[in-house]
Amino acid sequence: MSRGIAQMRNLGPAMARALAEIGVSNEEELRALGPVEAYARILFFVGKRGMSLNALYSMDAALKEQSWTEVTAA
């Protein structure tokens, strides 16, 4: 069974709410959409224009089971 967003490393309740607003409620759905597309949709559809790139790094790292500080720009 796929973990809920808030149970994933680096992601908490605020990210879970933002992702839920774009229809992503678990790890499987985030993996299928991809962190870059999820971030773009949050910015566009939810209007979280103040959301930093750390949110993107956190989603990418969560899917890789690593700390968000280990994510490189590449």
φ/ψ of residue 48, rounded to 5: -85, 60
The tens digit of pLDDT for each residue in 1-60 reads: 688 999 999 998 989 999 999 999 999 999 999 999 999 999 988 776 667 888 999 999
Position 11 scores a pLDDT of 93
Compute the distance between CA of residue 47 and CA of residue 3 in angstroms, rounded to an integer: 26
Tokens matching residue 17: 């709410």
For the chain, counts of helices (H) and of strands (E): 4, 0
Left (φ > 0), alpha (ψ -120 to 50) or beta: where does 11 sit? beta
